[in-house]
Chain A
Amino acid sequence: MYRSHVLVCGGTGCTSSGSQAIIDALESEIKKNGLETEVQVVKTGCFGLCALGPIMIVYPEGTFYSMVKEDDIAEIVSEHLLKGRIVSRLVYDETVVEDGIKSLNETDFYKKQHRIALRNCGVINPEAIDEYIGCDGYEALGKVVTTMTPDEVIETILDSGLRGRGGGGFPTGLKWKLAKGNDADQKYVCCNADEGDPGAFMDRSILEGDPHVVLEAMAIAGYAIGATQGYIYIRAEYPIAVDRLNVAIKQAREYGLLGKNIFGTDFCFDIELRLGAGAFVCGEETALMTSIEGHRGEPRPRPPFPAVKGLFGKPTILNNVETYANIPRIILLGADWFKSMGTEKSKGTKVFALGGKIKNTGLVEIPMGTTLREVVEEIGGGIPNGKKFKAAQTGGPSGGCIPAEHIDIPIDYDNLISIGSMMGSGGLIVMDEDTCMVDIAKFFLEFTVDESCGKCTPCRIGTKRLLEMLDKITKGQATLEDIDKMEELCYYIKDNSLCGLGQTAPNPVLSTLKFFRDEYVAHVVDKKCPAGVCKDLLSYSIIKDKCFGCGMCAKACPAGAITKTDYVAPGKKLPAYEIDASKCVKCGACVGTCKFKAIVKE
Chain B
Amino acid sequence: MKTLEELKAIRDKMKNQVGIRSEEENTTRVVVGMATCGIAAGARPVLTAFSDLVQEKGLGNVAVTQTGCIGLCMYEPIVEVMEPGKDKVTYVKMDAEKAAEVVEQHLIGGKVVTKYTIQK
Contact = CB atoms under 8 A, between A and B. Distances in A.
Interface string B10-26: 11011101101101000
A130 B32 CA distance: 30
A462 B48 CA distance: 69
Interface stretch (A79-87, A148-156, A178-186): A79-87
Contact of B65 (A5, A84, A103, A257): A84
Given A142-B7, A263-B4, A59 B21 contact: yes
B96 interface: no
Contacts of B23: 62, 103-105
Size range of the interface on B?
A: 20 to 34
A1 B2 contact: no
Interface in A86-109: 103-105
A562 to B, nearest CB: 58
Nearest to A135: B18
Interface of A: 1-5, 7, 37-38, 57, 59-62, 82-85, 103-105, 123-124, 130-131, 133-139, 142, 146, 255-257, 261, 263-264
A83 B4 contact: no
Contacts of A105: 23
B21 A123 contact: yes
A97 to B, nearest CB: 15
Contacts of B39: 82-83
The secondary-structure label for the interface of chain A is loop
Contacts of B3: 263-264
Interface of B: 1-4, 7, 10-11, 13-15, 17-18, 20-21, 23, 31-32, 34-36, 39, 47-48, 50-52, 55-56, 63-68
A134 B11 contact: yes
Nearest to A34: B44
Nearest to A256: B1
Given A131-B18, A136-B11, 12 more contacts: A2-B51, A82-B39, A130-B10, A131-B14, A133-B14, A134-B11, A134-B15, A135-B18, A146-B4, A263-B3, A263-B7, A264-B3
Q: Determine which residue in B13, B23, B34, B56 has the highest number of CB atoms from chain A within 10 A of its CB, and name it.
A: B23
A117 B104 CA distance: 38
Contacts of B48: 3, 37-38
Contacts of B66: 82-84
A134 B9 CA distance: 10
Given A83-B68, A124-B18, A130-B14, A3 B2 contact: no
B10 A133 contact: yes
Given A59-B21, A133-B14, A134-B11, A85 B55 contact: no
Contacts of A135: 14, 18
A60 B11 contact: no
25 contacts: A3-B47, A3-B50, A3-B64, A7-B21, A38-B47, A38-B51, A60-B63, A60-B65, A82-B66, A83-B36, A84-B31, A84-B32, A84-B66, A123-B18, A131-B18, A133-B14, A134-B10, A134-B11, A138-B7, A142-B7, A256-B2, A257-B1, A263-B3, A263-B4, A264-B2
